[in-house]
Amino acid sequence: MSTDAIVLLKNDHKAIRRAFRDFQKAGDEAHATKGKLVDKMIELLTVHTYVENEVMYPRVRELLPELEDDVLESYEEHHVADVLIMELSVMKPDDERFTAKTTVLIENVDHHIDEEEQEWFPKVREGLGRKTLQDLGAAMIEAKKTAPTRPSQPSALKKTIDAVVS
């Protein structure tokens, strides 16, 4: 089985986007369905962000310093998503701002995924090469085993607080 880091991240993106599209297709009054889909998004995005923030971004930053600006922009985009996710995680699906907040999350993350897949991944693939991407992917699979799945878990929460207060 390939452990290519970019292949693994694209698989995550696909699952995240599936939950986004299902949410957009759900009717206005489909509170239970939309609540479940947002729970799913929260879990997928919390794990994905952890793996990118802890493994992918630091390693790329170290090995390809010319991509530093892209990495810093990605941290900020993840941070915006983290804030929305934290707020959504304590909201009820019939709250009047629930759908609006989810829509803003979807727009932000769709944009971020487009940038990663269309601009950033090609540069990373060229810069790192096959072997390094496989090692990176193996490290990501390891990290996933202990990744938080909800923003209320300390490691995810701490990152957000650190980003806000420091």
Given its phi and psi angles, is residue 153 left (phi above 0), alpha (psi -120 to 50 degrees) or beta?
beta
Alpha-carbon gap, residue 137 to 141, rounded angstroms = 6
Q: Which stretch binds Fe ion (CB under 5 A): 33-41, 84-92, 109-117, 144-152?
A: 109-117
Alpha-carbon gap, residue 162 to 158, rounded angstroms = 6
Size of the site for Fe ion (CB under 5 A): 2
Pick 26 or 140: Cβ nearer Fe ion: 140
Question: Would you list the DSSP string of 26-62?
Answer: S-TT-HHHHHHHHHHHHHHHHHHHHHIIIIIHHHHHH
Pick 5 or 26: Cβ nearer Fe ion: 5
**In the complex, least distance from residue 134 CB atom to Fe ion, rounded to whole angstroms:** 18
Q: Which stretch binds Fe ion (CB under 5 A): 20-28, 83-91, 116-124, 137-145?
A: 116-124
Name the DSSP letter for residue 138. Answer: H
CB 109 within 8 A of CB 115: no
Pick 62 or 114: Cβ nearer Fe ion: 114
Pick 8 or 26: Cβ nearer Fe ion: 8
Q: Is 82 in the site for Fe ion (CB under 5 A)?
A: no
Alpha-carbon gap, residue 46 to 156, rounded angstroms = 8
**In the complex, least distance from residue 140 CB atom to Fe ion, rounded to whole angstroms:** 11
Q: Is 52 in the site for Fe ion (CB under 5 A)?
A: yes
The residue whose Cβ lies closest to Fe ion is: 52
**In the complex, least distance from residue 102 CB atom to Fe ion, rounded to whole angstroms:** 18
Residue found under tokens 């990495």: 71
Pick 37 or 55: Cβ nearer Fe ion: 55
Q: Which stretch binds Fe ion (CB under 5 A): 21-29, 45-53, 62-70, 154-162?
A: 45-53
CB 136 within 8 A of CB 59: yes
Residues of this chain that bind Fe ion (CB under 5 A): 52, 116
